[in-house]
Chains A and B, each alone.
Chain A
Amino acid sequence: MLTVGFREFKSLFSSIRSIVIIVVLFGVTIGSARLVRQFEAPLQELGLGNDAYAMGLMLLLILAAPLFVTSLSHNIVNKETDTRTIRFLATKTSRSNIILGKFIGSFLFWVVCIAVALLLIIPFSKSFSIVNLVQSIIFVSYFIGLTLFLSTIIPKPSLSMFLGIIISIALPVLGLWNAGTDNLFIKTVGYVTPYFYYMQEESNNYYAYFVAFFPILFILLSVFIFRKRDL
């Protein structure tokens, strides 16, 4: 499991797409922190304090994390089934280990990226928010799990990329729409997006942590399906 995870982790860092995403992530984080510093006094009056520095990163993740994760990991499983390299893995380790390893590799990649992005803010905010780090990681892990699930059930990488992009655009729209509508359908769909829980966060700090159950569910479903699949 860890061997698969480490390989996934390393390969994510070596692709051009990941380098572009890291540059964007770090660039926007530093840029927004610099911007926030210019409006430090008014933001302090609004009670945002040092949290405002991490807001740029959080906003970027909320809007772009689905797209970032999808573009990097849409083929996390089905690329291996498509090229048949999965046959080497599946004859050497369990299918559960393959799925868990894939998730761990992608998860660790994002943990490192988000942690480094938050570390880059320290010179501006003079503080490091563990809560922001954990909540950002949980938020991103929802999309890692979802991408893993899509890549398991969809055999063709091109199709999982297409569907991933559609979902990456639809989920934030539906999630944010959910906040300002009484439409039953949108409300219901909203419950399965992380946005609903993160928007409750102001009144209750613990809502965001419920989102962690979604990636667990996605992993369990992926393992269940992958174990039954012909490779």
Chain B
Amino acid sequence: MEALQTNQLTKTYGKKTVVDSVDLHIPQGSIFGFLGKNGAGKSTLINMVTGLIKPSSGSFEVLGQSGDRLESLQKEIGVLPDYSTFYEDLTAFSHLNYFQKLLKQSLSRQDILRVLTRVGLEDAVHVKVKKFSFGMKKKLGIAQSIIHQPKLLFLDEPTSGVDANAVLNIHSLIKEIAVQGTTIFLTSHNLNEVEKLCDEIAIMNKGSIQTQGTMQQLREQYQQVIIVHIHHRSLSEKEQTQLKNSLTELTADTQIAENTSEITVQSNELIPQVNKKFVQQDIGVFRLEVEEPSLEEIFLNLE
């Protein structure tokens, strides 16, 4: 059973298609990263699969149940919406108490305090939300989404507008929740965050899923060239020329210097052959580093 599966899920507003025939398969227990530029359709997709907006066509299943029966699954799903506003007259504690009652949970005062402490709001438990900063509201949003220990958690931009320490805290919280078996669906503009946290990634562009896979799969799919940095013994000018000539057939671009060389190859398979050329010319190699493309580079290449 998959945590989330969408089949040709589409949302149109008038003539504008915001989400276009999206097929997603998210395995249980994974941290799934969902990337895309502003207006790509990420939040609309999340809003559809969490029941906030109705799909124009297509279907989806959440935790093995049809999306039409989403209301019966509310205890199993946690949602941090993209835009979190709260009741100004309520405190952080009152909010969580209200929300846990809506979910028909019977959490004790200590349970609620534990969740607030976990997101870093222990000093604002009885402070009214109207006095909260944007970052504090974001933390409260995360707290309300995890208060009932959901099996599937949707986090729409959980770290945007949050200070650096809080970001680290949220990252560790996400990892901790995932270890407990919760599937996490995370959207973010922070590519490093997605790369660091997620097992699988989908990139959305203009309403469609442009690519989906593990970080390794995406790298292989979108890697155009591989840059190999080789640290070696000191080379004379003559040795440098000889080496450059011997590498011509293997590399697209070669930068040979006295102590370090940068070799650009088309595939991983060529790296041992490059190394062999160094050995054949009796050039001692101290270190060999393969520069892999970051998610950011893959993302930019997709544009």
Contact = CB atoms under 8 A, between A and B. Distances in A.
Interface of A: 3-4, 7, 11, 14, 83-85, 87-95, 228, 230-231
30 contacts: A3-B101, A4-B102, A11-B89, A84-B83, A84-B84, A84-B85, A85-B86, A85-B87, A88-B86, A88-B99, A88-B144, A89-B102, A91-B50, A91-B51, A91-B52, A91-B77, A91-B79, A91-B81, A92-B102, A92-B103, A93-B74, A93-B102, A94-B71, A228-B54, A230-B47, A230-B52, A230-B53, A231-B47, A231-B52, A231-B53
Main DSSP-derived SS at the A contact region: helix
A207 B84 CA distance: 47
Nearest to B103: A92
Contacts of A3: 98, 101-102
Chain B, interface residues (CB within 8 Å), range: 20 to 34
A87 B102 CA distance: 13
Given A87-B52, A231-B53, A7 B98 contact: yes
A94 B83 CA distance: 21
A228 B51 CA distance: 11
A9 to B, nearest CB: 13
A88 B140 CA distance: 12
* Those 9 A-B pairs whose CB atoms lie nearest each other, nearest first: A230-B53, A92-B102, A3-B101, A91-B79, A87-B81, A94-B71, A93-B102, A231-B52, A83-B85
Nearest to A98: B102
Contacts of B50: 91
Given A11-B89, A90-B51, A92-B74, A84 B102 contact: no
Contacts of A230: 47, 52-54
Given A91-B52, A92-B74, A231-B47, 4 more contacts: A84-B84, A85-B85, A92-B102, A230-B53
Nearest to A91: B79
A91 B155 CA distance: 13
Contacts of B84: 84
Contacts, number: 51
B116 to A, nearest CB: 16
A87 B53 CA distance: 10
Contacts of B51: 90-91
Contacts of A85: 85-87
B79 A87 contact: yes
A84 B81 contact: yes
A17 B71 CA distance: 35
Contacts of A91: 50-52, 74, 77, 79, 81
Interface in B109-133: none
Contact of B99 (A14, A92, A94, A95): A92
Contacts of B54: 228, 230
Nearest to A80: B87
Interface string B200-243: 00000000000000000000000000000000000000000000
Interface string B139-159: 000001000000000000000
B185 to A, nearest CB: 13
A14 B89 CA distance: 10
A88 B103 CA distance: 11
Contacts of B102: 3-4, 89, 92-93
Nearest to B13: A230
Nearest to A228: B54
Contacts of B89: 11, 14
Nearest to B81: A87
A94 B72 CA distance: 8
Contacts of B79: 87, 91
A89 B81 CA distance: 12
Contacts of B99: 88, 92
A139 to B, nearest CB: 30
Interface string B39-73: 00000000100111110000000000000000100
A90 B52 contact: yes
Contacts of B103: 92-93
A95 B89 CA distance: 23
A4 B87 CA distance: 13
Contacts of A92: 74, 99, 102-103
